[in-house]
Structures are given as structure tokens and as C-alpha cells.
Amino acid sequence: MQRPVAVIGLGSMGSMALWQLSRRGVPAVGFDQFPLGHMNGAFSGETRMFRTAYSNGPHWVPALRRAKELWRTLEAESGQALLDLNGFVSIGDRAADRIASLIGCATAAGVEIEMLDSTEARARFPAIGVEPGEVAVLDKAGGLIKPERAVMAALDQAQASGAELRPSCAVTGIEPDEGGVTVETPQGRARFGAVILATGAWSQRFLPPGLVTPHRVGLHWYLSRTPDLFVPDVFPPHIRYVGGRAVCLFSSQDRTMVKAAIGGSLGPLDAPMDARTAAPWERAPLSKAIARHYPGLWPHPVRSESYADGFTADGDGVIGPLPWAPRVLVAAGFSAHGFKIAPVVGAALADLLIGGMTAMAIGHLRLSRFEGRSPGLRALA
């Protein structure tokens, strides 16, 4: 009998990998240190932004398009509504670098966008203050994903296809050898044919120092004075690029509160769980931006949460086998922008495990790009 695959980490990437492996008939066992759907993951916090026009470059677009198809597949198989695609808007000075690269990306990759000046944008999205001289770029295929529901839907589907789930079971060590990998937990040791490491901000335990480090990402909720103006149809998720910062706002999920964030890392952490208690210095600049551009919101957060994500030196995730242990595949370091492609990562991991290659457009995320640059990877290779 084929020896099962161990998927370590049942968060964003691990849940998708387990779903993809089990729907292809590969026996798999999934481990997580916390209960399923816990509130400490990089998938926590209600909503994640999805878009296809990406200022990070046109090389992202094929993976983003494929991700949308796979999200729809997961919706169809699970019967769960996971996507809310009412469009995604990027706002900034027309000459700002991020706006220029976004438009360049859309043009190069043939992504449908609509450019709105401040008058047109205010007419369409009355609660979003777009200033004269700013432009709003509407990505019609963008919107929101429900991350906790997506993770649980993928785990349900995996289990229905035969995967075994071991929640509240932390993996304390892995020992790869020529014939397989031994996985150690407080409950004992077990042999597997291969391992997928999808341990997010906790990945340092298994990887060379410095390759993936934990950083804090914060979320804040503001009360709306005019709830009707903050629902998805008229208040799509959007990013405003201002003064080197990205201010992100999300459509209200409950007609009461609107989530906002300063995009990206808010600083490195000694340990992932420190994210939950770190001082939220970002409240003041965020509330200032809210007061200026969103008069329909009270500019004082009524709820704040922060979470850890794994970050790499170049701000993109790493996917692929460890050079010294080809039966151990890593998917980590998605640096606060990986959720949107999670099912592509899961499918790529399943492809790599089954056939050693993948047609998923993840070339820019290969772990091998760090082989010449990461001292740890060089030393251990």
C-alpha cells in the first residue's frame, strides 16, 4: 500500500494541499497544533482581498486566474459560498508607482480594468472619498474571499475523500531519509512517504534560519454611521496608496462594521503568538486616513486584532522540495498576500508530490530562487 503523505499545518495552504491530494486519491494525514479553524492563523480575520490586476507584476496573473477557477471548484464541491466578487478598487495619484505598475500589469496581461476619475468614483462608490487628481482603478474580477470558511470547506472535502485529520497535535520534529520521513508528535512517531510543510509563521522550526520569519499583520474594525453605503455593491474592497503606505478597506460583512488595515508587515516578531499582544501603533495613522476619506465611519476602531504571517526576504512565498530532503515539500512565507492563490499552491504541491512537476504558474515562487542567496539553504544543501 502507498505510504500516506503528512501535511503539517491545516491553515490556508495545508488545507488546500490536503483537499487536492485526497481528491486525487492520495492517502494523507493532516496535523495542526491548534483545533481546526482556530483563531491564530494567517487565515483568521473574516475576509481576504482577491484581485487579478496586481501591481506586483503581470507574472502573477496566470496564477490569480487559475486560483479563481479553483476557488469556484471548491465552492461547487463543498456547497459553500466562499467568494464575493463585486470588484476590487485601487486608489492613488495617477502618477504613483503602484498605480502605474497596476495599469502596466493589466495592460500586459489583458486584465479588464476600468479607470474612474474622482467624480466618477464618488458617484459609483459614495462612501469612498477619492480626491481630485486621484484615480480609482476597478478590477472587475476582484473582490473578497471568506478565509475561515474556505479552510473549513477544504478540510471537510479532504476528510470526505478519505484524509485523516489530527487537530491539536503539534509536530515537534521531522526526520527525512531515503525511504520516507518520520514525523514526531507528543503522541509518538509515525512514518510517511513524504511531508508537506505548510506551517506559516511557525516555519522557522523546520527551515534554515532567516528563510521564513514571523511578522505581525493588524486588522481594525470601524463602525459605520450609514450602513447602506458600506455593503459590497457600493463599497467594494479597496487599497489606497498614500505616502508609501497601503491603506486597505473591506466591504462590511454585517452592515455594522467595516474592517481596515495598513497593508503588509507591521514588524518582525520573536514568536508568532506575540502577534496577538503586540502594541497596535498603526491605529493613529489608520484612523487619520479614515477620518479624512470616510466620513461615514466613526474614526475610532471598536475592535482590533492582529495575526502572524511568515515573511521571506523578497516578500513572496516559497514552494518546493528542500534541496537536502526531496521528500519534504515546503509552502510558506506568503508575506501577507498569499491567501488569494492558496488553492493554486495546494494544487501545485499535489502535482509536485505526484509527478515531480506542475503546470501551475508558480515559477516566481520556487524555493530554489533562494538557493544561492540564503546562507541556511546554501549550507544545508
The mark string for 319-358 relative to ligand FAD (x by CB under 6 A, - otherwise) is: -------------x-x-xxxxx------------------
Please identify, among the stretches 8-16, 52-60, 107-115, 175-183, the one whose residues bind ligand FAD according to the rule CB under 6 A.
8-16
CB of 56 to ligand FAD, least distance (A): 11
SS3 category, 253: coil
Binders of ligand FAD in range 55-114 (CB under 6 A) = none
Please identify, using beta-carbon distances, which residue of 9 and 87 lies nearer to ligand FAD.
Answer: 9
Please identify, among the stretches 103-111, 118-126, 307-315, 349-357, the one whose residues bind ligand FAD according to the rule CB under 6 A.
307-315
d(CA 359, CA 37): 30
Query: CA-CA distances (angstroms) from residue 193 to 24, 36, 61, 176, 177?
Result: 16, 24, 33, 10, 10
Q: Judged by CB under 6 A, does residue 9 bind ligand FAD? A: yes
168-180 core/surface letters (b: 16 or more CB in 10 A; e: else)? ebbbeebebeeeb
CB of 198 to ligand FAD, least distance (A): 5
CB atoms within 10 A of CB 186: 8
Q: Judged by CB under 6 A, does residue 229 bind ligand FAD? A: no
Query: CA-CA distances (angstroms) from residue 167 to 18, 185, 188, 197, 244?
Result: 13, 12, 15, 15, 40
- Per-residue cell: 47: 475576509
Binders of ligand FAD in range 162-221 (CB under 6 A) = 170-171, 198-200, 202, 217, 219
Please identify, using beta-carbon distances, which residue of 33 and 78 lies nearer to ligand FAD.
Answer: 33
Contacting ligand FAD (CB under 6 A), which of 10, 121, 150, 242? 10
CA 121 from chain centre, in angstroms, equals: 28
d(CA 376, CA 381): 8
- Cβ atoms 266, 155 nearer than 8 A: no
CB of 133 to ligand FAD, least distance (A): 27
d(CA 9, CA 28): 13
CB of 10 to ligand FAD, least distance (A): 6
Contacting ligand FAD (CB under 6 A), which of 13, 136, 181, 361? 13
Residues forming contacts to ligand FAD in the complex (CB under 6 A) are 8-14, 31-34, 41-43, 45, 48-49, 170-171, 198-200, 202, 217, 219, 307, 309-310, 332, 334, 336-340
